[in-house]
Structures are given as C-alpha cells and as structure tokens.
C-alpha cells in the first residue's frame, strides 16, 4: 500500500460518515448545543440523529447531558477533548489525503 | 471554503438567525443618537453633558441590550430552533476585534478634529468600514442582507458628501458646537440615526421572517 493510500485508510471512519461529520463539525464550533439545534441544522430526524449521537457518545467523542429547560426536558451535547482532537486529526488527514 | 468549513461558521451566524444581533446594534446606535441629540438640544450645565450621566446611560443601554436579547433567545429562539452556547473565545472575539478598530477610529477622528480639515474622506471611510464589518458579520450568512449592506454604503457616502453647512445645521447654535465642530456633531448624529434605523428595519424583517417560518416543535422534550 502506498503512503498516499495509507493516509486515506487512516481516516477516522466514525467521523467520516456524513451525518456524524455534520454533528461533530457543528459541535466543534460551540461550547455546547442542544438536540433541537442539531436537528434543525442537520435536517435529520430524531431517530437518525439519536443513533449517530449514541455512536459518538460510546466512542467518547461527544458528551451528553440530560437536563431541563423549565419543565421541558433538554439534551445538551458537547464535543469532548478526545472528540475535538479526533476531529482536528480527521481534518488534517483528509486534507493530506486529498 | 470547503463544506466542513461552512459548517464550522454556521453556529456563529445562528446568533442572528432571528435578527436579534442587528436589533441589538440598531438599538445601541439609536441610543447613542438620542444621547447626542439630547446633548445638542440641552443648555450648558444640563445633566446630559456630565460624564457620570454618560456612564449610567451607556450602562443601562448595555444592560437593556444584554437582557433583552437573552429574553428573546430564551422565550422565542431556543424553543423553536435550539439552544447554542458559544465558547468563551468566541464571546470575546467581537470585543477583541472592536477594541483596536475603535481605538483607530478615535485616533483618526481626533487627528481630523485637530487639523480642522475636510472630513468628507474620513467620514466616508468610517461609514464604509462599518458596512464592511456588517457584510462580514451578517450579510455573508443571508443573501438579501447584501442589499442592506449596499443601502448602508450608499447612505454613508451620501452623508459624507452632504454639504457641510447642511450637516452643521443639525448642531448649530448648541452648546456642543462651542466645543466640537458642528459638522462633526451633525455627521455623527445623522450617521448614528441612519445606521440605527437601517439595522432596526433589517433586524425587524429577520425577526418577522423567523417567526413566520419556524414554530415550536409539537413534542415537548428535546
């Protein structure tokens, strides 16, 4: 395998999936955002968004905090230090590969 | 800009998705215009010429903008399209950019004041600088706001090239004109009112469009 091809193979597949890439990119630009904001910005339905967030949470990229805004339940999401580092690496590797 | 890069700037433009950013700046400019007008109209020794009044006035204006924006976000924007908390660096970025620009403007104005030269070019440049900042901060995200930026540019040029006598008439025979050139006071007052009005209208339209095109999700929990 040539080094160039290896660079493509090294890309973080967890982030590379378009839905998850949108989530991670949006969260990387803020301190935290709620589920509704991500749903509004990505245009995904609740089920799909939940499933992507669960994958990212399992891998330690995204932190999830269940709270209340008044009496309304609210899910706050933020990128963890691991997630931020992984996203920066992903962007760098993608640029190198392209 | 690549697609990921575009996603990275979306949260920043989300702050003005409801027009609150423009309404806040418009309110501030109107507030300064009102204070200037009161200073022009008030006789010597009036409360409006005192530094402590100025500080209290600006403080109250900042509080009104801060808590007013927060109230709109809390009761209208967040329940409709979601909550975003910005990073500390992003929250201070505006102030970090505005501070040196403000200092440069102050130095430029004081130099122009000392030299008592023609203020057309500095006035036009100042207005166009404001338009450039508006275009970068707001118009990039929403296409129709380029028309607002264009109107602002034309307006600032029109104010800069208005006959000096006409501009000075705004502040002539007032106590302020004994301390400052009447043209400067007049141009400042006209500019604040014009930019405040245009931002208020643009922000108001954004707010109306936002209310029209969004609604609180039917289900309670997020």
Q: SS3 of B68, please?
A: helix
Q: Provide the pLDDT for residue B44.
A: 79
Closest by Cα among A10, A17, A4, A22 to A79? A22
**Half-sphere exposure of B150 toward its Cβ, with a 13 Å CA cutoff?**
5
pLDDT higher than threshold 60 for residue A64: yes
- Residue to substitute from A32, A36, A74, interface B, most B β-carbons within 10 A: A36
What pLDDT is attached to residue B84?
94
Domains of chain A: 3-97 (1.10.10.10)
Structural domain boundaries in chain B: 16-88+119-213
**Nearest chain B CA: its distance from A40 CA (Å):** 6
Q: Are residues A29 and B12, on separate chains, in Cβ contact within 8 Å?
A: yes
C-alpha torsion B49→B52→B58→B63, nearest 10 = -150
Torsion angle of C-alpha atoms B23, B162, B174, B181, degrees rounded to 10: 100
Considering only residues 59 to 88 of chain B, which have any Cβ-Cβ distance to chain A shorter than 8 Å?
78-79, 81-88
**B11 vs A30, A69, A91: nearest CB:** A30
Q: Specify the 3-state DSSP secondary structure of B214.
A: coil
Look up the pTM and report it.
0.82
Report ipTM for this prediction.
0.84
Report the pLDDT value the prediction gives residue B126, as an integer from 0 to 100.
78
Specify the pLDDT at position B30. 92
What is residue B92's predicted lDDT score, i.e. its pLDDT? Answer: 64
Neighbours of A29 (CB within 10 A): 19
At B195 the pLDDT is 93
Q: How high is the pLDDT of residue A29?
A: 92
The terminus-to-terminus CA distance of chain B in angstroms comes to 32
Whether the predicted pLDDT of A27 surpasses 80: yes
Provide the pLDDT for residue B78. 94
Give mean pLDDT, residues A9-29. 90
Of residues B14, B88, B222, nearest to A74 (C-beta): B222
Contact B85 A39 (CB under 8 A): no
Question: Cβ separation of A33 and B220 shorter than 8 Å?
Answer: no
Q: Are residues B222 and A21, on separate chains, in Cβ contact within 8 Å?
A: no
| 3-class DSSP state of B127 | helix
pLDDT at B69: 95
Low-confidence ranges of chain B (pLDDT < 50): 221-222
**How far is it, in rounded angstroms, from Cα B51 to Cα B143?**
41
The answer to whether the CB atoms of A32 and B85 lie below 8 A apart is yes
Shortest Cα distance, chain A CAs vs residue B177, angstroms:
47
Q: Could you tell me the two tokens for B187?
A: 């141009």
CA distance A85 to chain B (A): 15
Please give the Cα distance from A26 to B180 (Å, whole number). Answer: 49
**Chain A CA closest to residue B5:** A25
B87 vs A25, A31, A74: nearest CB: A31
**Strand extents, DSSP E, chain B:** 84-85
CA B188 to each of CA B35, B97, B166, B167, B217: distance values in angstroms, whole numbers, following the listed order: 11, 22, 13, 9, 45
Instruction: Give tens-digit pLDDT for B8-30.
Output: 888 888 999 999 999 999 999 99
Q: Mind listing the pLDDT tens digit for each residue in B128-148?
A: 888 998 998 888 888 899 999
B7 and A26 in contact by Cβ < 8 A? yes
- Of A32, A42, A41, nearest to A64 by C-alpha is A32
Would you say B36 and B164 are in contact if contact means Cβ atoms under 8 Å apart?
Answer: no
Distance (Å, rounded) from C-alpha B80 to C-alpha B6? 23
No. of helices (H) and no. of strands (E), chain A: 6, 3
End-to-end CA distance of chain A: 16
Question: What pLDDT does B42 receive?
Answer: 83
* SS3 call for B82: coil
Of the residues B76, B83, B88, B141, the best mutation for testing chain A's interface (the one with the most A CB atoms within 10 Å of its CB) is B83
Which pLDDT score is estimated for B147?
A: 95
Within 8 A of B9 by CB-CB distance, chain A residues are 29
Please name the residue of chain B whose CA is at the shortest distance from the CA of residue A23. B7
Strand extents, DSSP E, A12-61 = 32-34
Q: How many inter-chain contacts (A to B, CB under 8 Å) are there?
A: 73
């Amino acid at each position: 395998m040539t080094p160039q091809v290896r660079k493509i193979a090294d890309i973080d597949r967890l982030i590379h999936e378009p839905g998850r890439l949108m989530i991670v990119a949006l969260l990387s630009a803020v301190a935290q955002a709620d589920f509704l904001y991500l749903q509004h910005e990505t245009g995904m339905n609740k089920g799909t968004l939940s499933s992507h967030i669960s994958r990212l949470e399992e891998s330690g990229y995204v932190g999830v905090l269940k709270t209340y805004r008044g009496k309304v339940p609210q899910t706050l999401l933020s990128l963890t230090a691991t997630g931020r580092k992984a996203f920066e690496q992903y962007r760098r590797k993608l640029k190198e590969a392209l | 800009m690549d697609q990921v890069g575009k996603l990275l700037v979306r949260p920043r433009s989300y702050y003005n998705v409801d027009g609150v950013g423009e309404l806040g700046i418009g309110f501030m400019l109107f507030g300064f215009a009102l204070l200037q007008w009161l200073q022009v109209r008030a006789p010597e020794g009036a409360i409006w010429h005192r530094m402590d009044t100025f500080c209290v006035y600006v403080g109250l204006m900042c509080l009104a903008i801060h808590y007013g924006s927060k109230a709109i976000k809390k009761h209208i924007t967040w329940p409709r399209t979601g909550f975003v908390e910005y990073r500390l660096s992003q929250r201070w970025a505006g102030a970090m950019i505005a501070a040196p620009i403000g200092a440069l403007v102050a130095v430029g104005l004081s130099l122009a004041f000392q030299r008592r030269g023609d203020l057309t070019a500095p006035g036009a440049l100042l207005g166009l600088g404001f338009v450039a900042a508006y275009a970068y901060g707001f118009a990039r995200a929403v296409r129709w706001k380029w028309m607002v930026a264009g109107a602002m540019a034309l307006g600032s040029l029109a104010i800069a090239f208005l006959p000096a006598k006409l501009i000075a008439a705004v502040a002539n025979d007032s106590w302020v004109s004994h301390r400052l050139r009447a043209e400067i006071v007049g141009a400042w007052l006209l500019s604040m009112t014009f930019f405040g009005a245009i931002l208020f209208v643009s922000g108001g339209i954004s707010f109306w469009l936002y209310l029209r095109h969004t609604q609180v999700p039917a289900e309670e929990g997020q």
